[in-house]
Structure formats: structure tokens, C-alpha cells
């Protein structure tokens, strides 16, 4: 930028570099997604295509930003974890948030027709974001566990609620029936009233979606004469629906937070 008498205006810019040597989590949430889901007639309590579209947008972010080592999503929210040593954009919060939100939103629009081929996009999706630093791996994992617990609690409630509404109850009646109920009571309502075993619901509904890089066997060549497939392990971005609260997930995938 050329020097000029107007350059002093840069002095008003606020430094927003995030704390070094901490895990950065960029969490985005759909803005006005209640109206957005109504406008596009998303199924309640879960719309599989809408969730898969969210995952596709999140994969775009993970593939584009090498410093994002893990992402977790549920409903209209996604959390992106940047490695502890990341210096991407000098760790500027405003830059990281704006890039993640814009990448996610643009991918959401670009992929819309793949998941909703018969539904015209009525309005532009928007996402707000925030950046939080977590100083240790244990606290970071507690954050991710919190999001997955929230996924279960909200999904169990919403599954009960919308089945009650679908059976003829008003929204107020459904709320009163579920008010103060425990998880066991909700499970009993689902099973006894609607013959739904909560544990049989798709894991994407109950566990959310986890995105990370993993070495997967891929065919790299097919021999001309024999037709034998030559396979190699290649690093790929995968979408899984696993229990990330359990120690076993992290034990089986030490490279995610270990950086190896």
C-alpha cells in the first residue's frame, strides 16, 4: 500500500490475534435457521439431506484449511478445531472467523442442488461465528464432549416432541408432556407410544458428525493384464458418526490431536 496522508486510519484497527500455543475452535451457527428450515420445508426432528449438506460444507472447510484437524457438527452448527501450533492468518480471530464462515456458506450454496435437486434455494443461508482458545487437550476434549452431549439431549427431546405433535398434540401439549422428564421417561414415551427404540435411530442424529483426516485404502492402479487392483493407504477427509466422549475414539485416532 502506497504511503499517503490518509494512512493514519490504520491506527484505528484493533489487534485481535488469538492466544498462542492454544487450540483454536471456530464455532459457526446458522443465522435465522428456524425460518430458513421452514421456508425449505426441512423434515422434523431431523432432515437427513440438510445434515448431509452441512457435512459437505464442513468438508470443504477442512479440505481447504490444512490447519483444521477436526470438525464436529450437529443441526445447524459446526465447530472447527485448529492445531495448537497454527499460525494461520497470524491467528487473527476476525480473519479466521470470516474465512471459515464464508467458505462454509459458499459451499452450502454450491452443494444445495446435490442434496435438494427438487427444491429451489429461496434465500441465502448465513452463519455467524466465534473463536475460542482452549489451553489444553483435555479442555478441548471437554468442549467437544459438551457439544456431543448437547446433540443427544436436543435430539432426544426433539424426537419426542415432533412425534407427539405428529400424533395430534399441540405444541403446548407436547411441551407440557415433556416438561421435567428424564432421559429414561423420554425413551419410554418413544418406545411405548410410537414403537421407536431411540438407540436404533441413525447415529448421525444421536452422535452428530465428526470430520477428520484418516488413512484409507484406495485403489491407485489396475493392472492391464490381470486386472488386479493395486491399493495404497492415502490420507483422506472422512465423515464419521462416533462417540467422541469415549477415550477409545482418541486412542484409536492419536494423529488427530497429536499431529502425526
What would the mean pLDDT of 203-211 be, rounded to a whole number?
Answer: 98
pTM: 0.92
Task: List, as one string, the DSSP characters of 100-142.
Answer: HHHHHHHHHHHHHHHH-TTS---S---EEEEEEEESSHHHHHH
Overall size of the chain counted in residues: 260
Q: Is the pLDDT score of 260 beyond 70?
A: no
Asked if residue 106 belongs to a domain, the reply is yes
Q: In the chain, how many domains are there? A: 1
When the pLDDT of each residue in the chain is averaged and rounded to a whole number, the result is 95
Residue 76 is labelled as binding a ligand: yes
- The answer on whether 11 is annotated among ligand-binding residues is no
| 3-class DSSP state of 69 | strand
DSSP letter at 28 equals E
Q: Which of 112, 108, 105, 107 is nearest to 129 (CA)?
A: 105
Report if residue 218 sits inside a domain: no
Q: Residue 159 has what pLDDT?
A: 98
Does residue 197 form part of some domain?
A: no
CB 4 within 8 A of CB 62: no
- 99: domain CATH number is 3.30.70.3000
| 118 found inside a domain | yes
Q: How far apart are CA 31 and CA 24, in angstroms?
A: 22
29 labelled binding-site residue: yes
* pLDDT tens digits along 163-200: 999 999 999 999 999 999 999 999 999 999 999 999 99
226 within a domain of the structure (yes/no)? no
Residue 58, in any domain of the structure:
yes
pLDDT reported for residue 2: 67
Give the C-alpha separation, 163 to 44, whole Å: 9
The confidence score (pLDDT) of residue 154 equals 98
Domain that holds residue 127: 16-147
| Residue 28 within any structural domain of the chain | yes
d(CA 209, CA 156): 16
Task: Let me know if residue 163 belongs to a domain.
Answer: no
For the stretch 31-88, pLDDT in tens is: 999 999 999 999 999 999 999 999 999 999 999 999 999 999 999 999 999 999 999 9
Q: Is 67 annotated as a binding residue?
A: no
pLDDT reading at 5 higher than 80: yes
Helix (H) or strand (E) holding 237: strand 229-240
pLDDT at 1: 54
Amino acid at each position: 500500500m502506497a504511503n499517503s496522508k490518509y494512512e493514519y486510519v490504520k491506527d484505528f484497527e484493533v489487534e485481535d490475534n488469538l492466544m498462542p500455543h492454544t487450540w483454536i475452535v471456530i464455532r459457526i451457527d446458522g443465522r435465522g435457521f428456524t425460518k430458513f428450515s421452514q421456508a425449505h420445508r426441512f423434515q422434523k426432528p431431523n432432515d437427513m439431506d440438510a445434515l448431509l449438506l452441512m457435512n459437505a460444507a464442513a468438508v470443504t472447510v477442512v479440505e481447504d484449511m490444512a490447519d483444521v484437524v477436526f470438525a464436529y457438527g450437529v443441526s445447524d452448527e459446526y465447530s472447527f478445531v485448529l492445531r495448537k501450533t497454527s499460525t494461520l492468518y497470524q491467528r487473527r480471530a476476525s480473519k479466521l472467523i470470516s474465512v471459515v464462515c464464508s467458505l462454509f456458506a459458499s459451499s452450502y450454496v454450491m452443494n444445495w442442488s446435490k442434496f435438494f435437486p427438487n427444491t429451489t434455494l429461496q434465500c441465502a443461508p448465513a452463519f455467524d461465528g466465534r473463536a475460542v482458545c482452549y489451553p489444553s487437550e483435555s479442555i478441548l476434549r471437554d468442549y467437544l464432549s459438551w457439544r456431543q452431549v448437547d446433540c443427544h439431549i436436543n435430539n432426544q427431546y426433539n424426537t419426542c416432541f415432533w412425534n407427539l405433535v405428529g400424533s395430534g398434540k399441540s405444541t403446548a401439549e407436547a411441551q407440557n408432556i415433556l416438561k421435567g422428564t428424564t432421559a429414561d421417561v423420554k425413551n419410554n414415551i418413544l418406545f411405548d407410544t410410537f414403537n421407536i427404540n431411540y438407540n436404533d435411530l441413525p447415529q448421525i442424529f444421536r452422535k452428530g458428525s465428526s470430520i477428520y483426516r484418516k488413512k484409507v485404502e484406495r485403489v491407485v492402479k489396475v493392472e492391464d493384464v490381470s486386472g488386479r487392483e493395486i491399493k495404497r493407504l492415502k490420507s483422506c477427509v472422512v465423515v464419521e458418526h462416533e462417540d467422541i466422549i469415549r477415550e477409545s475414539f482418541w486412542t484409536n485416532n492419536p494423529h488427530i490431536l497429536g499431529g502425526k
